[in-house]
Every structure is written in C-alpha cells, then in structure tokens.
Structure 1
Amino acid sequence: MPSFLHRSSHDLAVEAPPDRPLVGIALVLAAGLVFSLADTFSKVLAERLPVVEITWLRWAGFVVVVAPMLVATRGRVLQSGSPQLQAFRAACLIGSSLLFVGALSVLPLASTTTINFVSPLIVTALSIPLLGEKVGFRRWAAVAAGLVGVVVVVRPGSGTFGWAALLPILSATCWAAGVIATRRLGGIDRPWTSMTYTSLIGFVALGLVVPAVFIMPTGFELLLAAGMAGFATAGQFLTVLAFGRAPVSVLAPFTYVMLIWATALGYIVFGTVPDGWTWFGAAIIIASGIYTAHRERLRVRDAARAPVPELSRADRSQA
C-alpha cells in the first residue's frame, strides 16, 4: 500500500467549531439538494457534451473558488505536509467525478444516486488495508447487506441497466478511496490546501484530455455548466460546514435524503420514477449505511472511554 497513507499528523490541524447538531442537519439537507441540482445539470449536459468536458467544466468552477485564496496567500496555501497524498486524493476524486457523470449519461438520476450510496460501505472495507482499522463481524455484515441492496437495484440479467451499473459502483469506490485520503490529510493539511490541490490537479489533468473531445458549448450549455459548477461548489462548502458542527454518526442518516431530492428532480426534469425494486434496494443500502455509522459512533465512543495505560517508572523518567 502507498507509504504516504501512513503519515502522522502534526500541528497544522485547526480547532474544530463547537457541536451544533440541528445546524449540521440543516446544512447537510441543503447540501443534498444543491448536489442533486448539480447532478441534474450534469445529466442534461451529458446529452449534449462529452463526459470529460463536463467534468472539466465542473472543475473549472472549483478553480474559480480557490483562485482568490491562491492569490491572497501567494501560493502558500499549496504548502503541504504530504504532496503525494494530495495527488492521490485528487486522482481519486477526478476518477469518481468522471465515472459518476458517465453514469448519469446512461442511467436515471435516482438510480445513479442510489447505487453511489454504497460509498460509505466501501470506506469501511478500505479502512482495513489503508488505515489499519479493525472491522468487526457486524460492520462486515452491514457491508454485505449494502452490496445485496446494490444487486437488488441492478438486478443482473434483468436487462435493466447492464454494464452501465458498474459506473456508479466504480465511482463510489474512487470516492471512498478519496475519503480515506481525506481522513489522513485531516491532521496534516488545512482544508483549503486540500481543496486547492484537488481543484488545480483536476483542472490541469482534465484540461490535457479535453482538446481531443472538445465541443464548443452554446450559450445555454455554458449557463448549465456555470450552474453545475456553482451548485457542486456550494455543496462542498455546505458539507464541510455540516460535518464541522455535528458528528458523522448524527448526520449520516440525513445524507440519504439526497435520494428524495434526486427522485423529485428526476421526475420533474426527465420524467423518470424509480420502480419498486429500486426503492427496495435503496432501503437496504440506506439501512446498511446508517448501521455502519452507528457502529462507527460506538467504536469512537469506546475508544474515548478506554483508560490510558499508566507509564512505567522508566517511561516516566524519560517523558
């Protein structure tokens, strides 16, 4: 595994704001709405422009946001304790975006969103090799149940989605790897550093590929792209604010309200409604994700309550 995933933290970490659960819940609900709007705009654009170009335009919006910080700090915001890990995180998020937009181009909005909800379960699985965490039987059972939910949604052999259903699954896997990297970076770099690295790397890397497939957008498509980038950026900020004001275990159940937003927008804009099997699979995935968050809360609580072993006389003399 990459050695930079095991870097230790240092004093660049910043003090977290006090917990305000109701504010956090309101923010995460708002984030779900604006992310769904961004995905809706992406799906409309996917019928008109190449996937790579759409993703690049989305990253361009991020660059617009971080550019003032880059200028104000004269580039110091790019000073990182782990540039390799920043590059790894950016690559994961670029892959996730490309695969997700690709999924939106061929699958219904609500179905793509539903399958992508498997990402917290993949984070649990990846936390073993990449973070060295111990995952018990019950959390593994939750992961297995979530995968069953994906199978119910996809229904292999039914001809409903075919191989296209792999796109949101792969997107969720890339996103989960990015989350693992974000956890490591939490004690190494400030959030603005991570956002700036990801924005610049994504914009430049995708910009190298875009000329090969570029189609000149119309004025309407540029408006759609601006809305997509604006909503996606707003969603990122709202998510950061939300999880800074309430624990993940408190907010996790409310992130799934995004499925309701996606379903409503899918019906309003595209006239699509998930069938009964999709709702059933979504219920399994959501229940698995909520249970996983519950087990994580218990794990963190038990770790906090664990007694600190006393130092031996020799240890105390060296402390």
Structure 2
Amino acid sequence: MSVSDNMKGAALMAGSMAGYTFNDACMKALAGDIPLSQAVFLRGVLTCLMLYGLGLALRSLTFRLSRREWKLMLLRSFAEMGATYCFLSALFNMPIANVTAVLQALPLTIALAAWAFLGEPLGWRRLSAILLGFVGVVLIVKPGGDGFTLWSVYALLAVGFITLRDLVVRKMSPSTPSMTVALVASVAITVSFGVASLGVDWAPVTPRSGGFLVLSAVFIFMGYLFSVMVMRVGDIGFVAPFRYTGLIWALIIGLIFFGEWPDGWTLVGAGIVVATGLFTLLRERQLMRRTRARRIA
C-alpha cells in the first residue's frame, strides 16, 4: 500500500469526522429555536433525498434482502434512532467537546461488547486498556460531581446504542449494501422523529434555522460519503486512528462558536480515552497481521 493512498485515506477520515462534527455544531446551534423532533425530521428529509440520490448514482441500492437481513437492519435502525435521540439531547444541553469526548470510548465499548456477546478474542492487554479507558470516561462525566447531570447519562446511553448498532452490523451479511443500510436507517429516523414532532408545537423555520438545517444535512451527508470512500483507500490500520480528529474539531468549534472549553479533568479523561483507544486499534492491527501471516505460512 503506497504512502499516498494512506495519506488520502487519512484525509478522508479526518474529513468524515469534520463533517459529522460540523453537523453536530449546526444542530446544537438550533437548540432553543426548534424542537429536537422537528429539527431531526426536517434534516432527515434532506438527508434521505441526498442518500437516495447517491445510492442511485453509485448503483448500490437494493432492497431484495433476506428476512434475516431485514430483521437485523430494523434492529440497527432502532439502535440508530436511540443513539440519535440520546446524543442530540445531550448535545443540546452539554458542551460539544464533552459529548464528543464521551463518544471517543466507542472503539473500547465495541471491542468489549464483541468479546462478551460475539465471542471475538480479546487479550489481557486490550482488556486492560479498555478498563483504563473507562476510567477516562468517568473523569469526563464525573458521576456524583457538580458537572454530572441527566444529560451526561444521555451521552452514555448514546454510546450504548451506537455499540449495539455496530454489533448488529457485524452480524449482517457482507453482501448487504452499506448504502441500503444507511438509507433505511435514515428513513426510520426521519419517520420516527416526524411522528414524535406531531406532539410538539412546531417552531417557524427562519432563514437562520433553515440555513443551519440545510448545512447540517450537507455535513452529515459529507461525513457519510467520506466514511464510505475511506474504506476503499489506504490501510485501515493506518487510517482508523484519524477518527479521533473529531475531538479536535469539537474542541475548536466549542471554543470559537459556543465559548466552551472543557475543564482540566475532562481533558485528562479525554486524553486517557484517546490513548487507550489508539492502543486498542494498533493492537488489533498487529493481531490481524499475525493471523494473516499464519494463514499464508
């Protein structure tokens, strides 16, 4: 694998994280102006249209799937809906960097859940790193402290839902197109939040709020598009650590646009989570290389 391909992959991964984080910032900017359910529904309509257009352009949409795949896809969509609600609820009420820092624990929770529920191997080194990473999460959310609120719980629940989502993906057939999975999840989120919005008073969409909604849909689409492209370029073991650039984006956006900056303990906790996550990814890469070498031998 050439260095240029790796650098392209790293740039795409960083771009994907930027897209998702800027989407988060746009949604956070709508807090207090538009009810959560209304905002997610309107953004979802735009996102679904763009995903459908991309799927047609790539000819990667198919809905002729087995009953098993549809069940898994619906379970994944349920997890996606729960993650969206919990994450945005936390985002509307917490500093963006704090919420993003909690989500950096995902490589740790997914590795632990895959070991516990799918029987995937997990050595003592990675297990120790995961436990240390959870200490970092505790420093971020500070249970029992003044900074610990209901929204901290929502951020943790979002991690749980995303972990469930990714475990379900591991059970799905590799032949199921990722575009179909993404579109079905987006439609499910849009419909569910559209129904939920019927129970609230809709706020008028002003030029400001409309602009943020359009930008949010564009950024989340960009994040997804780049995340698909990155799987086709570069060594994933080299590229994967660049997902942590999302935390850097969140720190910059939080400071410049929202006047937020995490306290010292949050930064220490985030550093621990990122360090242990990087160790877990690198260790997994080493084990995959050894497994391939044994197969070739």
Common fold, TM-score beyond 0.5?
yes
Q: Residues 242-285 of structure 1: CA distance to partner in whole angstroms, max 9, x if unpaired?
A: 13323432123211121111111111111111121111111100
State the match for 1:55 in structure 2.
40
Structure 2, unmatched stretches of 5+, are none
Distance 1:24 1:214, change over 3 A: farther
Residue aligned with 2:175, SS = coil
What's the counterpart of residue 94 of structure 2?
Answer: 107
The aligned amino acid for 2:191 is: V
Matches within 5 A, 1:1-319: 20-68=5-53, 77-81=62-66, 82-185=69-172, 187-219=174-206, 220-307=208-295
Shift of 1:167: 1.3
State, as a whole percentage, how many aligned pairs show the same letter: 27
Deviation, 1:62, is 2.2
- What code does the residue aligned with 1:119 have? L
Most deviating of 108-117 and 185-194: 185-194
SS at match of 2:34: coil
CA distance in 2, matches of 1:74, 1:265: 36
Q: Cα deviation per residue 1:93-144 (whole Å; 9 max; x = unaligned)? A: 1211111110111110111100111111110111124432121211111111
Alpha carbons 1:115, 1:169 under 8 Å: kept: yes
Cα contact 2:105–2:273 (8 A) shared by 1:
yes
Q: Alpha carbon RMSD of aligned pairs, Å? A: 2.4
Larger RCO: 1 or 2 (CA < 8 Å, sep 6+): 2
* Contact 1:96-1:175 within 8 A present in 2 as well: yes
Counterpart secondary structure, 1:128: helix
Output the amino acid matched with 2:200. V
Task: List structure 1 segments (4+ residues) > 4 angstroms apart after TM superposition.
Answer: 69-76
- Judge which range, 226-235 or 160-169, deviates more: 160-169
Contact in 1 for aligned 2:60/2:177 (Cα 8 Å): no
Shift of 1:74: 11
Partners of 2:243 and 2:59 in 1: CA distance:
36
After superposition, the C-alpha distances for 1:26-56 in whole angstroms (9 at most, x for unaligned) are 1111122222211111111122222222222
State how many pairs are aligned: 292
Distance in 1 between the 2:58 and 2:136 partners? Answer: 46
How many angstroms apart in 2 are the aligned matches of 1:172 and 1:248?
22
Give the greater-gyration-radius structure (CA).
Answer: 1
Instruction: Look up the SS of the partner of 1:187 in the other structure.
Output: coil
Amino acid at match of 1:245: V
Alpha-carbon distance change, 71 to 187 in structure 1, aligned in 2, over 3 angstroms: closer
What TM-score comes out, normalization by structure 2 length? 0.90
Match for 1:259: what amino acid?
L
Q: Which runs of 5+ in 1 are unaligned?
A: 1-18, 310-319
Deviations 1:191-220 (A, max 9, x none): 222122212222222222221124133222
The 8 Å contact of residues 123 and 179 in structure 1, kept in 2 or not, is answered as yes
Alignment deviations for residues 149-190 of structure 1 (CA, whole Å, 9 cap, x no partner): 011112222201323211111111211221222233361301
- 1:15 aligned residue: none
Mean alpha-carbon deviation: is it higher for 112-121 or for 240-249?
A: 240-249
Structure 1: distance between partners of 2:218 and 2:170: 25
Matching residue's letter, 2:11: A
Distance 1:72 1:37 in 2: 25
**For the structure 1 residues 214 and 183, does the alpha-carbon distance in structure 2 shift closer, same or farther, using more than 3 Å as the test?**
farther
